[in-house]
Amino acid sequence: MTTHINYGQAPGLNTPNEKAPGAYGSKGLHINTNSADFATKQAIHQAQAEKSATTLIAKFALAGHAVHRGQTGDFIVSRWGQTRYCKNFAELQAFATKLGVTQ
């Protein structure tokens, strides 16, 4: 069977009737709405903690300090050749308060 494509014209007898991907009854673009893709409480808490750390690092940067993250959740703050090691986020927050980066 040969098909003739009518560009800019109304469909005729030889124009195939094809559905767009995702159209009702087609086999394309299937979206599974029954999957467990919702965020868990742990994922939400982790995202909020990440946002807090990123915000505090940005505040340090605005104050002229460089903050380097370690792989185990520790931080190193440096400025003018001096460094300060913070073993966790709570120590980083305390150091930020001491420097006047946060209140």
pLDDT tens per residue, range 17-40: 665 655 555 555 555 555 565 667
What local confidence, expressed as pLDDT, does residue 3 receive?
58
Q: What does the block give as tokens for 67?
A: 């903050």
Task: Give the other-Cβ count within 10 Å of 98's Cβ.
Answer: 10
Q: Tokens 């124009």 sit at which residue? A: 15
Query: Rounded to whole angstroms, how far apart are CA atoms 65 and 54?
Result: 14
What local confidence, expressed as pLDDT, does residue 46 receive?
84
Query: Rounded to whole angstroms, how far apart are CA atoms 21 and 94?
Result: 55
What local confidence, expressed as pLDDT, does residue 92 receive?
94
DSSP-derived 3-state class of residue 78 = strand
What local confidence, expressed as pLDDT, does residue 40 receive?
79
Query: Rounded to whole angstroms, how far apart are CA atoms 33 and 84?
Result: 49
pLDDT tens per residue, range 61-89: 999 999 999 999 899 999 999 999 999 99
Q: Model pTM greater than 0.85?
A: no
For 7-17, b/e burial (b = at least 16 CB within 10 A) is eeeeeeeeeee
Q: Where are the domains of the chain?
A: 41-99
